[in-house]
């Protein structure tokens, strides 16, 4: 579609010409409950200035039809000025008024205005999601983040519905069987941050207040919503508790009053992300409304997301990156502040453990792809931007900010944030704007901050840090040094300055490993000596990034690695233990530790792991080690060992505990033998019982998936389970189970459902691809690999980017870990040099995963 992929150069030129004074948007969604209605009416009035009267520009709109376009009272022919993505605007005046009346499309992909009908009660729900550039699917906009303006929304909706937007409603009036909701003007915000949520949502309300330094009282009304059929599971009190703790924390630290009036949090169906920071109207995936028992890690994760989105009210909404190059200016900060505030302000005290074990694992993986990029990335267009919501922009950026706090000091960091907000409120910024304030508040000066930025923000890759321990004949330390390298062929980028803590660990009388010495130092260059340790007894374990202050891959000396093989579970404190687990996983991914050795570590020590989030990560990683990194000849044995270990730990776990639930889920993931599958069948039927284990609905679906993948669940049985759980979640799980069956017919049906039609909603596309690729069915799905490569460009061109991304990643033959599939991937890349850069990036990353798996398998065979 011409002009659909807005470029940075186009956005810069438009920003040079245009300044926007305000939007008035009227949406009529009264047709939404009618499933045959495909569009809604959208009328937009934009008041804007032009720096060069007489010049031409364009507005953005993705709509099936445009009824009329009027510029400064002059009617324009839609057939002439609208090409499906842009509205051409010529002969602009100094002051302009553009009015566009259009029919926009309801979405099933989670982009634009998404429509969902609840199978439980037939009710219809709407919500918007735009980032990075989908507001143009709902109204006419100048779709770029640096053209901020106030918005006034008016929404006509069915009378039984409630409507939420970024600002509070000014009036609601009834007109027959409809209501017209008119909302107050917003503060100046970017188009991608606007939001409308509409439907018969269940709502809970509360409020938060704070006396400001000038004596005025800041009152923030709070609301939390979910679908009516989820209301009985909705723990709004817990959500409000975390919300209030976050508001307390951010007001204390940022010293800038929350600027957007109310604070609504809407939990919505079929959401593509974890959440979105729309000011005053934050949207979350409704999976955060827990309808079955979940572990403490799930509540901790939800709290982190709540705080992450709240941090965005300042980092991202109040002050917004000028273009997507500086996306990190909001996402890295929100990721860091989510963990920081959670640790300091809530009951969830494992935030930095989770960050080290899970968020940084995402960053390490992304940063080792051939497509890696600096934290401040080169974003040419909005398709590039879509793919840069990744582990580098979020988790690596947050890890680097944690390093910055260690480098500059907490007080200096927060004082810099305060000055940044005051200086740039309601504006747009770039990297230099942040460095300018940090140079002053840190006391490090402009050159030091520029050097830090060049090393950490403007180069890609991850360094490795390894201890080099020299011991004398008496077993005492002669020298301890930290070696820094960038991996094979310098793939990790330049050697960087690191502020680290080195921890020495020794055995206590009870056999546990406890830190006995800690040295904090700056590491620079290939080798740095740790001072002050000569003459100490050699430790059992050296951790060179203790306390997880920097971003690096942690390696071990030979003696420390030997200690971990026998005693990893004996490390007493959870953070260093999580760091050790993370380091061993990186060794496995890098082909330096055989997959079967990593599996042995998990089988030996995971049962001792107290942190439930770490335990669940270990389960995922151990399964991945067997499925992808183990020698294929050992794969079946590895799977059998995992299933036996899961059953053993399940029987040992405390009844009703989080650990018991985690081991039950892991058993469902690994069960393949007749013995284990009969137990699964018994748990579902009620003929088998494990004391304290409740077989609730989510666990039932996990057990059904195991049976379906093994060919021991019929369509009739799965249909019966769906009748028992006729909900949105139930439909997604049933779809996955049907696709997981080990028959040619099941695979063909799953493939056709995604490929042959564009009617499937986003959540069910993901369910189909998840069910399609089962580790024990490699031969069954192998014939689809050539078809996949033949369809890539067509799918990318014809589908929305969200659905295209799901196809590319979901159907890539990742389980075909053989040289032939690698060669086929290379052949596609060689034969399609002109394919869309974003598509090539995704395929390159899949190719790298495949090559890494082959290298790890070679290590495991050896």
- Which residues share a beta bridge with 164? 197
Task: Say which residues have a Cβ less than 8 Å from residue 80's Cβ, sequence separation at least 6.
Answer: 88
Q: CA–CA separation, 495 vs 522, rounded Å? A: 13
- Which residues share a beta bridge with 26? 43, 154
Q: What is the CA radius of gyration of the chain?
A: 28
**Tokens 């982190």 identify what position?**
304
**How is 649-714 classified by DSSP, letter by letter?**
HHHHSPTT-HHHHHHHHHHHHH--SHHHHHHHHHHHHTSS--TT----HHHHHHHHHHHHHTT---
- Which residues share a beta bridge with 470? 479
Task: Give the mean pLDDT of 756-765.
Answer: 95
Taking all residues of the chain, what is their mean pLDDT, rounded to a whole number?
96
* pTM > 0.75: yes
pLDDT tens digits, one per residue of 340-372: 999 999 999 999 999 999 999 999 999 999 999
Q: CA–CA separation, 827 vs 842, rounded Å? A: 15
Is 199's pLDDT higher than 60? yes
Task: Give the mean pLDDT of 762-766.
Answer: 96
Is 517's pLDDT higher than 60? yes
Counting beta carbons within 10 angstroms of the beta carbon of residue 827, is it exposed (0 to 12), middle (13 to 18) or buried (19 or more)?
exposed
Task: Give the mean pLDDT of 119-143.
Answer: 97
- Predicted local confidence at residue 107, as pLDDT: 97
| Sheet order of strands, 275-276 included | 202-211, 217-226, 263-268, 281-285, 275-276
HSE, side-chain direction, 13 A CA sphere, residue 78: 16
Q: CA–CA separation, 469 vs 478, rounded Å? A: 8
Is 407's pLDDT higher than 90? no
- Predicted local confidence at residue 3, as pLDDT: 60
Task: Give the mean pLDDT of 464-471.
Answer: 98
Expressed in angstroms, the distance from the first to the final Cα of the chain is 51
Task: Give the mean pLDDT of 794-805.
Answer: 95
Q: CA–CA separation, 78 vs 69, rounded Å? A: 6
Is 215's pLDDT higher than 70? yes
pLDDT tens digits, one per residue of 323-343: 999 998 899 999 999 999 999
**CA-based torsion, 688, 692, 693, 698: positive or negative:** positive
- Predicted local confidence at residue 512, as pLDDT: 97
> Active-site residue numbers?
309
- Predicted local confidence at residue 2, as pLDDT: 39
Q: How confident is the model at residue 490 (pLDDT cuts 50, 70, 90)?
A: confident
- Predicted local confidence at residue 443, as pLDDT: 84
| Sheet order of strands, 74-76 included | 74-76, 65-71, 95-105, 39-50, 18-28, 151-158, 178-183, 169-175
pLDDT tens digits, one per residue of 451-467: 989 999 999 999 999 99
pLDDT tens digits, one per residue of 525-578: 999 999 999 999 999 999 999 999 999 999 999 999 999 999 999 999 999 999
CA 518 to chain CA centroid, Å, is: 34
Helix 762-772 / helix 744-755 crossing angle, nearest 10 deg: 150
Tally of CB atoms within 10 A around 490 = 11
Task: Give the mean pLDDT of 70-95.
Answer: 97
Is 1's pLDDT higher than 50? no
């Amino acid at each position: 579609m011409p002009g659909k992929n807005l470029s940075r150069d186009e956005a810069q030129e438009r920003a040079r010409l245009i300044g926007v004074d305000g939007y008035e948007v009227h949406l009529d969604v009264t047709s939404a409950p009618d499933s045959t209605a495909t569009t809604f009416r959208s009328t937009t009035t934009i008041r804007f200035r032009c720096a060069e009267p007489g010049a031409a520009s364009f507005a953005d709109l993705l709509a099936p039809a445009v009824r009329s376009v009027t510029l400064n009272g002059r009617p324009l022919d839609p057939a002439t000025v609208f090409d499906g993505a842009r509205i051409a605007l010529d002969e602009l005046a100094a002051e302009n008024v553009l009015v566009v009346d259009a029919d926009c499309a309801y979405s099933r992909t989670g982009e634009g205005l998404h429509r969902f009908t609840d199978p439980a009660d037939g009710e219809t729900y709407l919500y918007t999601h735009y980032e990075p550039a989908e507001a143009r699917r709902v109204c006419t906009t100048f779709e770029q983040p640096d053209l901020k303006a106030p918005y006034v929304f008016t929404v006509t909706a069915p009378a039984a519905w409630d409507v939420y937007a970024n600002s509070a409603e000014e009036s609601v009036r009834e007109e027959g069987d409809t209501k017209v909701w008119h909302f107050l003007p917003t503060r100046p915000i970017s188009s991608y941050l606007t939001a409308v949520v509409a439907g018969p949502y269940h709502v809970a309300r509360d409020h938060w207040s704070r006396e400001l330094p000038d004596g005025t009282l800041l009152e923030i009304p709070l609301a939390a919503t979910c679908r009516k059929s989820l209301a009985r599971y909705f723990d709004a009190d817990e959500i409000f508790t975390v919300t209030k703790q976050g508001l307390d924390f951010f007001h204390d630290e940022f010293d800038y009053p929350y600027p957007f009036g109310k604070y609504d949090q809407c939990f919505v169906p079929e959401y593509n992300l974890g959440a979105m920071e729309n000011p005053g109207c934050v949207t979350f995936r409704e999976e955060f409304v827990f309808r079955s028992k979940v572990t403490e890690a799930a509540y901790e994760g939800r709290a982190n997301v709540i705080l992450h989105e709240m941090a965005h009210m300042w980092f991202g909404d109040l002050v917004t990156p000028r273009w997507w190059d500086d996306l990190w200016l909001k996402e890295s900060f929100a990721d860091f502040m989510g963990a920081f505030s959670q640790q300091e302000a809530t009951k969830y005290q494992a935030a930095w453990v989770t960050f080290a074990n899970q968020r940084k694992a995402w960053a390490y993986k992304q940063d080792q792809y051939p497509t890696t990029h600096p934290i401040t990335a080169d974003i040419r267009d909005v398709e590039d931007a879509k793919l840069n919501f990744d582990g580098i922009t979020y988790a690596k950026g947050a890890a680097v900010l944690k390093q910055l706090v260690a480098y500059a000091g907490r007080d200096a960091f927060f004082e810099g944030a305060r000055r940044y907000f005051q200086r740039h409120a309601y504006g747009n910024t770039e990297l230099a704007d942040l460095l300018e304030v940090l140079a002053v508040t840190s006391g490090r000066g402009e050159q030091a901050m520029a050097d830090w930025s060049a090393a950490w923000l403007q180069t890609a890759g991850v360094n490795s840090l390894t201890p080099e321990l020299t011991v004398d004949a008496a077993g005492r330390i002669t020298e301890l040094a930290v070696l820094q390298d960038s991996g094979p062929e310098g793939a990790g980028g330049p050697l960087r300055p690191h502020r680290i803590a080195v921890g020495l660990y020794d055995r206590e009388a009870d056999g546990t490993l406890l830190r006995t010495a800690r040295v904090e130092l700056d590491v620079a260059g290939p080798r740095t000596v740790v001072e002050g340790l000569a003459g100490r007894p050699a430790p059992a374990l050296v951790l060179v990034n203790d306390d997880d202050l920097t971003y690096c891959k942690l390696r071990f000396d030979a003696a420390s690695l030997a200690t971990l093989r026998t005693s990893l579970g004996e490390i007493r404190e959870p953070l260093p233990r999580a760091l050790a687990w993370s380091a061993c996983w990186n060794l496995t991914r890098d082909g330096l530790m055989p997959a079967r050795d990593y599996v042995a570590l998990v089988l030996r020590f995971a049962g001792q792991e107290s942190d439930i989030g770490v335990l669940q990560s270990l389960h995922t990683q151990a399964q991945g080690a067997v499925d992808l990194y183990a020698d294929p000849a050992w794969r079946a044995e590895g799977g059998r060992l995992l299933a036996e270990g899961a059953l053993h730990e399940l029987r040992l776990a405390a009844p009703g505990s989080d650990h018991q639930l985690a081991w039950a889920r892991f058993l469902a993931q690994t069960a393949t033998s007749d013995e284990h599958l009969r137990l699964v069948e018994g748990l579902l039927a009620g003929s088998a019982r494990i004391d304290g284990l409740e077989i609730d609905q989510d666990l039932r679906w996990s057990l059904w998936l195991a049976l379906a993948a093994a060919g021991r669940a019929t369509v009739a049985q799965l249909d019966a389970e769906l009748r028992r759980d006729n909900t949105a979640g139930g439909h997604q799980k049933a779809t996955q189970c049907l696709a997981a069956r080990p028959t040619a017919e099941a695979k063909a049906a799953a493939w056709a459902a995604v490929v042959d039609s564009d009617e499937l909603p986003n959540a069910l596309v993901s369910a189909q691809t998840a069910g399609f690729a089962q580790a024990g069915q490699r031969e069954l799905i192998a014939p689809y690999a050539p078809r996949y490569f033949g369809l890539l460009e067509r799918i990318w061109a014809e589908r929305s980017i969200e659905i295209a991304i799901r196809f590319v990643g979901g159907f890539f033959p990742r389980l075909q870990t053989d040289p032939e599939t690698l060669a086929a991937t290379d052949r596609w890349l060689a034969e399609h040099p002109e394919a869309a850069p974003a598509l090539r990036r995704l395929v390159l990353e899949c190719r790298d995963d495949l090559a890494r798996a082959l290298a790890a398998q070679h290590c495991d065979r050896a």
